[in-house]
Structure 1
Amino acid sequence: MDHKVLKFLTQSHSHCSTLSSSSIQDFLKELEQADLPALTSAEKLQFINHLPTELVDIHLIIEDCAGRFSETQVDELIRIVERTLAAELLERRNADAQAEDTAEAEAEE
């Protein structure tokens, strides 16, 4: 199943299509190791697809979030996303922005 999920994610047109399989695997591994209630497969997929980094996003993804997770646990979910999934995307965006700035500066000269 993991192979099919990774194949789908790398071929989709969402944020997740730019993520490496190692980032996705790191995310799933950290979820397993964390002392948190289990997420459903659909919830994990939505996390990978949407990269939620705000409380409201988490509540939209997790069914009965307030009943299943404490505020501290939701914060931990956000930190896991930021460490594993969002970190790679932010690094890539920063590199792209720097490349654009360099290209603009060279074009002005």
Structure 2
Amino acid sequence: MRDKSFYKEKAESIKNNVLEIQKRGAIFNIEDPFNSYPGITDIIREFVHLVFSFDRSLPLNKELENLSKLRFSSAITGGVDFAKKDFEKVISKIDFFIHYLDTYVD
């Protein structure tokens, strides 16, 4: 098992990648019209595997199962930007993992 600093640095790097994709905004691709944020799926997968490799029995793993269902829809309906809410969900999970490492791991 790697040490705490590896997991923390990797989680922070993943968070920065998520923030960069969010900052770039939605990109329309005629060949893949349902993927407005290229790379987000791979980054989420990387984060899920990072947490799992840290501790397979960590309760956070159960919460992370729902991240693969996020659609990052950029359409604004009724004043709600669903992509923004999806990004917030991902970032909050990453932030919690970093908090967990800082608070509970020696």
* Structure 1 and Structure 2 fold alike (TM over 0.5): no
Normalised TM-score (structure 1): 0.27
Normalised TM-score (structure 2): 0.28
Is the radius of gyration larger for structure 1 or structure 2?
1
